[in-house]
Amino acid sequence: MKAGFYPKMAVSGMRKNGRLYVPFIITSILMVAMFYILHFLSFSGVMRGMPGAGTATDMMVFGVYVMTLFSAIFLFYTHSTLIKGRKKEFGLYSILGMNKRNIGKILFWETAIMWVVSAALGLVAGIGLSKLAELGFTKLIAVPTKYTFSVSGSSAVSSILVFAVIFFLIYLNTIRQIRFANPTQLIRSGRAGEKPPKANYVVGILGLLFLGSGYFIALKIEQPLSALRWFFVAVIFVIIGTYLTLMAGSVILCRILQKNKKYYYKTEHFVSVSTMAYRMKRNGAGLASICILLTAVLVMLSSTAALYTGSDECLDTRYPNEVGAFACKYGYDESLPLQAARFDDLINSVAAEHGAVIQNNCTFSEYSISGYYENNRLQVTLNSMTDMAFIDYDRVAQIMFIDAEVYNSVFGHDVTVGPGEALVGTAKNIEIGDELTIGDVTFNVTGRFDDTVTEIDPVADGAASPTVFVIVNDSESVAKEFIKYKDYNGEPMLAWFWNCRFDTGLDADGQIALASDLSAKLKEELKGKGFSNYYSESHEAERGDFVGTFGGLFFLGILLSIIFLVSCVMIIYYKQVSEGFEDQSRFGIMQKVGMTKDEIRKSINSQMFTVFMIPVVFAGIHLLVVLPIVNKLLMLFALFNFPRLLLCAAICLCLCGLFYGLIYKATSGAYYKIVA
């Protein structure tokens, strides 16, 4: 054959099937552009050295890996749908004398052309939009912007290589489909699905069980640590349940509609329901994919928007005072009370050096021991790593012992606790009776102060594991009871914490400078004294990390949501186009027997509305069920404002619903043009 024959055949085939190839190439271009932008913001160093940008760029790195995985999965999915429309054509090529090697060469050139066009135009778009993305990113994370345009060679090369691998794998998958099919099967592939599937109640019930299990996990979880661990389990169950339920349930829905004579025997419903019944099993998988993508968009945007808009609230909760300091030492040491007094002197001297007047001083020390809490008893000793592997981490609790005298003087209370007695408080749902046993020491519980534990720990509600605050008569004597306890590595389980937070009246720069100086003085003071951890922090110094983290998450959520929504559009579009070609002959017959174009349009609208409202309804239900577990996860970031999350979710649902409605309108028009 002449040189250039296969490239010409490839270009000719793509041009004749432009309705299938153009959307795929546009999507590929968008994904290359998004990949370049994420890589540009992550690895190019454009924001290196900017305050608060470090954590945010870490979010972008995560986005690069997510983008790579999703691009591979989705382009595989859409190209498989695309190539299905070409199988009849390839079958004709085989009958006309082409062997599968010749067809493979045509497919190679098609894939190569799509890769070159997608990579080239995607890089142009990505480079062109990178500065805009950088400006938006830096605006969200509140860091200064350099108004210089730059191109990242490493990001461009990475984009080309990653999508070269993806397109090569797509080519191999296409060759596999053609290789194992004979010409007759290829020609008849367009008629696959003509036999109406039976309603599979077993699959439907199994799907409902998976859905119910996922919902149960999401609604049952109480602790943020469990939310973090079980979230992905719930997601997997919901995804499996959605696919099984929609694949089986959509067929059952058609059977129910057909049995409803008042609904079924109408012109606009009869044809649409009969048509749907022939391909609802395949339709169900597509609808489930749309539903999962919509749910992912809603959850991502709702959670990241809530975090970003509530970043100041989270910052104020986590750092209620302008300056804070902390020190920790494991084991018991009789000199620790003297060390606490030295800390007080150190703080006063540093504050004086900076011209600050200490206000709202909240400084106290406490002893801590952790263990497994069950039936009013804290088991302090775990024998081995094996024990750690099989415990319920919701029951791993931390006990904090505080002197009644300190509690009264620091937090303004007036409580009396006798020897062997205790006041207890916890932000978690922990059942504590009249007695509390810790190791082999038992306390008589004389009262609770659950409502005020945030005075001691402002983020107690969002702690990864339950914390129980125990007010005792003498924390020093109580601590001595637990010196003997060691962990499975032989390290002391008893720990001493010194906590300090106060206001200074200084401006932001003054607070940051004071906290930095205090950190240096703490390091000098505690050098060689066996303290495992110590630091000083300020409200304003942490602002950059909070805004950077939450802004980075929000920006990443927006970018990934755009990709997911575009993916939804592609799935809907390919469904409409492929089903339009399948239904073209059916509606042609119906027109010949007297069905008008107006009746065809009504039938199409009935079919589209029935089918494409299902993912929206399911996505809305998924969102409502998953919001409680998302709220638990947001508590780990010190966001305790559930109404804010609900408001963000409602706004996102309305926006996605509006977008979905526009896409529904546009794609139903494409379907009508094919069949009418």
Which one of 6-10, 373-377, 573-577, 619-623 scores highest in mean pLDDT? 619-623
In a domain, 289, yes or no: yes
Q: How far is CA 425 from CA 327, 369, 431, 504, 619, in A?
A: 23, 15, 11, 30, 39
Buried b (16+ CB within 10 A) or exposed e, 487-502: eeeeebbbbbbbbbbb
With CA atoms as reference, report the closest residue to 564 among 27, 15, 48: 27
Amino acid of residue 4:
G
Last residue within a domain, chosen from 462, 477, 505:
505
With CA atoms as reference, report the closest residue to 569 among 66, 24, 119, 79: 24
In a domain, 239, yes or no: yes
Amino acid of residue 71:
S
* Structure confidence at residue 423 as a pLDDT band (50, 70, 90): very high
Do residue 350 and residue 427 come from a single domain? yes
Q: How far apart are CA 237 and CA 113, in angstroms?
A: 39
Per-residue model confidence (pLDDT) at position 193: 46
Please count the structural domains in the chain.
3
Per-residue model confidence (pLDDT) at position 385: 43
Q: What DSSP element (H or E) covers 426?
A: strand 421-426
Do residue 205 and residue 170 come from a single domain? no
57-103: per-residue pLDDT in tens?
666 677 787 778 878 877 887 787 777 766 666 666 666 667 777 77
Amino acid of residue 479:
A
Per-residue model confidence (pLDDT) at position 194: 46
Per-residue model confidence (pLDDT) at position 384: 42
Surface-to-core class of residue 210, CB atoms within 10 Å of its CB (0-12 exposed, 13-18 middle, 19+ buried): buried
Do residue 206 and residue 178 come from a single domain? no
Do residue 330 and residue 219 come from a single domain? no
* Residue 183 scores a pLDDT above 60: no
Q: How far apart are CA 573 and CA 666, in angstroms?
A: 9
Which residues have CB under 8 Å from 317's CB, separation 6+?
Answer: 458, 459, 638, 639, 640
* Residue 192 scores a pLDDT above 50: no
With CA atoms as reference, report the closest residue to 329 among 535, 491, 533, 537: 533
What token pair was written down for 291?
């539903």
* Residue 672 scores a pLDDT above 80: no
Q: How far is CA 503 from CA 359, 361, 412, in A?
A: 5, 7, 17
Q: What is the mean pLDDT of residues 324-335?
A: 90
* Pairing of the two strands 421-426 and 396-403: unpaired
Do residue 25 and residue 140 come from a single domain? yes
- Report DSSP state, residue 413: -
Last residue within a domain, chosen from 160, 192, 224:
192
With CA atoms as reference, report the closest residue to 608 among 661, 538, 541: 661
What token pair was written down for 436?
């509390």
In a domain, 281, yes or no: yes
Q: How far is CA 509 from CA 107, 323, 351, 513, 516, in A?
A: 63, 12, 14, 6, 11
Q: How far apart are CA 39 and CA 85, in angstroms?
A: 34
Domain that holds residue 658: 200-301+558-676
The percent helix, strand, coil of the chain (3-state, each to 5) is: 70, 10, 20
Q: How far apart are CA 404 and CA 474, in angstroms?
A: 7
470-502: per-residue pLDDT in tens?
999 998 999 998 888 887 777 888 999 999 999
Do residue 423 and residue 481 come from a single domain? yes
Whether 181 and 189 have beta carbons less than 8 Å apart is answered as yes
144-157: per-residue pLDDT in tens?
555 566 777 888 89
Surface-to-core class of residue 146, CB atoms within 10 Å of its CB (0-12 exposed, 13-18 middle, 19+ buried): exposed
Do residue 362 and residue 291 come from a single domain? no
Q: What is residue 396's three-state secondary structure?
A: strand
The size of the chain, in residues, is: 676
Whether 633 and 600 have beta carbons less than 8 Å apart is answered as no
* Pairing of the two strands 377-379 and 323-330: unpaired
In a domain, 118, yes or no: yes
Give start and end residues of each alpha helix (H) in 180-279: 183-188, 201-220, 224-259, 261-264, 267-277
Q: How far apart are CA 568 and CA 560, in angstroms?
A: 12
Q: How far is CA 112 from CA 90, 116, 166, 637, in A?
A: 18, 6, 11, 46
> Average pLDDT over the chain, rounded to whole?
78
* Residue 165 scores a pLDDT above 90: yes
Do residue 36 and residue 132 come from a single domain? yes
With CA atoms as reference, report the closest residue to 275 among 46, 608, 650: 608
With CA atoms as reference, report the closest residue to 548 among 138, 133, 145: 138
Do residue 428 and residue 483 come from a single domain? yes
Q: What is residue 545's three-state secondary structure?
A: helix
Which residues have CB under 8 Å from 432's CB, separation 6+?
Answer: 376, 424, 426, 445, 448, 468
In a domain, 310, yes or no: no
* Structure confidence at residue 606 as a pLDDT band (50, 70, 90): low
Do residue 186 and residue 279 come from a single domain? no
Q: What DSSP element (H or E) covers 499?
A: strand 495-503
Per-residue model confidence (pLDDT) at position 160: 92
Which residues have CB under 8 Å from 639's CB, separation 6+?
Answer: 306, 307, 310, 313, 314, 317, 462, 645
Q: How far apart are CA 54 and CA 548, in angstroms?
A: 8
The share of the chain scoring above pLDDT 70, in percent, equals 72
Whether 538 and 324 have beta carbons less than 8 Å apart is answered as yes
Do residue 241 and residue 188 come from a single domain? no
Last residue within a domain, chosen from 505, 521, 543:
505
Which residues have CB under 8 Å from 296's CB, separation 6+?
Answer: 560, 564
Per-residue model confidence (pLDDT) at position 117: 92
In a domain, 517, yes or no: no
Amino acid of residue 279:
R
In a domain, 172, yes or no: yes
Q: What is the pTM of this model?
A: 0.71
Q: What are the φ/ψ torsions at residue 330 (nearest 5 degrees)?
A: -90, 145
In a domain, 547, yes or no: no
Q: How far apart are CA 634 and CA 612, in angstroms?
A: 32
The three-state (H, E, C) secondary structure of 127-161, written as one string: HHHHHHHHHHHHHHCCCCCCCCCCCCHHHHHHHHH
Per-residue model confidence (pLDDT) at position 215: 86
Q: What DSSP element (H or E) covers 397?
A: strand 396-403
Whether 193 and 88 have beta carbons less than 8 Å apart is answered as no
* Structure confidence at residue 21 as a pLDDT band (50, 70, 90): confident
Q: How far apart are CA 107 and CA 429, in angstroms?
A: 61
Do residue 265 and residue 219 come from a single domain? yes
